Amino acid sequence: MKKPLLVVVILAVLAVIAVGVGMMRGRGAKATAAIASGALRGANLLLVTIDTLRADHVGAYGGTRGLTPTIDRLAAEGLRFDTTYAHVPLTLPSHATLMTATYPTRNGVRDNGTFHLGDASPTLAATLKMAGYRTGAFVGAFVLDARFGLNRGFDVYDDRMLGSSGDLELVQRNAEQVLTPAQEWILHGGSSSPQPPVGSPWFAWAHLYDPHEPYSPPEPYRSRYASDPYSGEIAYVDAALGNFLAQLRTAGALARTLVVITSDHGESLGEHGERTHGLFAYDATLRVPLVVWAPAQIPPGVFGETMRLVDVAPTILDLVGAAPLANADGWSVRPFVVGERPFEDPGSYFEALNANLTRNWAPLTGLVRERHKLIDLPLPELYDLAADLGEQRNLYASQRDRARDLEARLDRIGKSASPSAPAPLDADAQARLRSLGYVVASVAPKRTYTAADDPKRLVHLNTALDDAIAFWSRGDGARAIETLQAVVRERPDLTAAYDRLAFMLRASGRVGDAVAVLDDAARGGHADRALLRSLGSMLRDAGDLRRSAAVLEPLVRDDPSDLQAADALGQTYARMGRGPQAEAMFRRVLSASPNAAATWNNLGALYLSENRAADAVEALARAVTINPDLATAYNGLGVAYARQGQTDRAVQQWQKALALRPDFADAQFNLQRAKK
């Protein structure tokens, strides 16, 4: 009988786990002294990252509501790392640090949406693929779409999201929708791309997005946690994860298993005035869980020294006997756990730059070392994390020597930073990111910042922006719009507020009001490229095609990589009857972003307007293949088939469009006319 493969399961969750097992520190880790480098050689690897799971909501880390029995069991039976730090409280940059073992200063991914992981950074997946693994990734939100670079090294990168650009269903899917294809791939392999045979060891990564705002757990968790839907999301994910692992165990896939649990970041839940995450870098969003589970090889215990997300991949590669990642900022902590070497705290770098990149607020960077945290801002902060868990007592003025030491270490990390810049982003991507509540980088940073630019002085505006998104997601568009109008009145230079306000007005059918908002911002000197792109698009929707082109053409001319402006200008040219110029714009976008379903749809619509039915079929078929829930593409595809005399196929497409959008008037009219 063939011996079952050893399995390594890495479950990345956004919470920390506390269990009553023996504490192991440095050389005191006698219980794990038998763990040698390569002890799990040839093991399979399963990485599950649960987005936005706050540490103290996990039972093993002190949570009292019983939300996470699956994770708690793994923590009780495995090695739990008591203190682990993320480096960015944002999904894409944090996962980039996890996969490359490098800080964002080195891998170049500083924010969601407009940064791309370059080929120069070795990854966990690429390393394991070179070692003979078949590799598959299954992600739960568009923020980790393959276009942002994390797909490198994966045979299969399943980032399929459904819906429409204004619908959150387009940009995320729930845990079960992620884990079902992951299970199929683990047990039976896949044939979508060349990869080693099913008998080879495998590395599977499943990213579960559910605890991220907006919190909307399915039943029965929605009713059970009606007053705390964030906890309901966590309970749902844990249950889905438990079922997933049970099915793998029944199939024999977990006969010998190493489980590593970690997370990308937590959630503030109102602490320090921040409702969600991304603005500040207190422990509520930086401290994450890490659990290693392999009962036959690793006895239960707790490692009390500091662990970092950049240490996860090196530790895994050490355990499975694969080659280490080159030029990593992290290291394997196995020697410290087993007592081969005394622990040395190198410090953990962190940053939160979204507000700097999108609003021109002061950039936030910092360092945690030996249980002290420095936050480098115009109003600097220093905390003793051992004595002040809530980070309420700023010691910067009273402990200048310690602060200077951390500042010097932070400066050295900053000096080693690699240059990075936002990557081109197409309009479809921008719409999906906005639906998730993300504002992407668009402003040119200042050279100096004052206390007036410190996020602590501006947090109430961040709260208002978050509140507007929450109101909008709950269907209260009027309150969302009123909230943003108040923000604009208070801070006329906050371009992100204009952009969100115009988006909501436009989605509410108030195109004229949306144009007026952006016009006022531009005339007031507050327009950046993103705002001008939005203005050009909304002028087109309002019928002012000549002015739309006048706004968009300089953007495309000045920056050929601006895919959003190119797509918007293509749509304007199409409306103006300038077909060749429109096609050129759409082709420019698709050459850089071939999975931009909305642009394929726009190209197909252009071909229909030019009576190029065969070309329209090809473009629109590409659109629905990429996004099977794009109702407008199905309607256009039906029109194209009808013009070719294929009435039956046309009817099928219109029926698909109406199944997605029962109130779709164009599809209703086309279907009724076909049946006469």
Side-chain half-sphere CA neighbours of 210 within 13 A:
29
Cα gap 295→290, rounded to integer Å? 16
Mean pLDDT of 541-547: 93
Give the three-class secondary structure for 140. coil
What is the structure's pLDDT at 422?
59
Domain ranges of the chain: 6-34+42-343, 354-415, 597-676
pLDDT value, residue 559: 79
Do residues 260 and 292 lie in contact, with contact meaning Cβ atoms separated by under 8 Å?
yes
Of all residues in the chain, the percent with pLDDT exceeding 70 is: 88
Q: Which amino acid type is present at position 149?
A: G
- Give the Å distances, CA to CA, from 347 to 16, 169, 394, 469, 506: 19, 39, 19, 35, 47
Q: Do 229 and 151 contact (CB within 8 A), yes or no?
A: no
Lowest mean pLDDT among 151-160, 591-600, 624-633: 591-600
- Give the C-alpha separation, 507 to 102, whole Å: 40
Q: Are strands 202-208 and 44-50 parallel, antiparallel or unpaired?
A: parallel
- Separation between Cα atoms, residue 374 and residue 384, nearest integer Å: 9
pLDDT of residue 169: 40
pLDDT average, residue stretch 427-446: 53
Q: Average pLDDT, stretch 626-633?
A: 88
Return the CATH architecture of domain 597-676. Alpha Horseshoe (1.25)
Whether the bond between 214 and the residue before it is cis, its omega within 30 degrees of 0, is yes
**CA atoms of 624 and 633, how far apart (whole Å):** 6
- For 10-56, the pLDDT digits (tens) are 444 433 333 333 345 443 333 455 788 988 888 889 998 999 999 89
Say what the pLDDT of residue 650 is.
Answer: 94
User: What is the CATH topology of the domain spanning 354-415?
Assistant: Arylsulfatase, C-terminal domain (3.30.1120)
98: tokens are 């996890």
End-to-end CA distance of the chain: 66
Concatenating the DSSP letter of every residue in 168-201 gives HHHHB--HHHHHHHHHHHHHH---SS----TTS-
At residue 387, what is the residue type? A
* Crossing angle of helices 312-320 and 91-100, rounded to 10°: 30
**Interval 497-517: pLDDT, tens:** 998 999 999 999 999 999 999
Beta bridge partners of 156: 136
Write down the pLDDT at residue 675. 80
Over the stretch 349-366, which tens digit does the pLDDT of each residue have?
Answer: 999 999 998 888 999 999
443 vs 241: which has the higher pLDDT: 241
CB 314 within 8 Å of CB 325: yes
Q: pLDDT > 90: what percent of the chain?
A: 64
Report pLDDT for 110: 94
CA-to-CA dists, residue 107 to 110, 153, 311, angstroms: 9, 16, 15
Say which residue, 659 or 256, is predicted with more confidence: 659
Q: What is the CATH number of domain 6-34+42-343?
A: 3.40.720.10
pTM: 0.83
Which residues share a beta bridge with 48? 11, 206
Question: Given this model, what pLDDT does residue 533 score?
Answer: 87
Dump pLDDT digits (tens) for 105-133: 999 999 998 788 988 899 999 999 999 99
Least confident interval from 61-75, 164-178, 488-502, 608-622 = 164-178
Q: CA-CA distance, 267 to 234, in Å (whole number)?
A: 12
What are the DSSP calls for 7-69, one per residue? EEEEEE-SS----SS-EE-GGG-GGGTT--TTTTTT-EEEEEEETT--GGGSGGGT--S---H
- Predicted confidence (pLDDT) per residue in 279-303, tens digit: 999 999 999 998 888 888 888 999 9
Tokens found for residue 391: 């980070």
**Which secondary-structure segment (H or E) carries 289?**
strand 287-293
pLDDT given for residue 15 in this prediction: 37
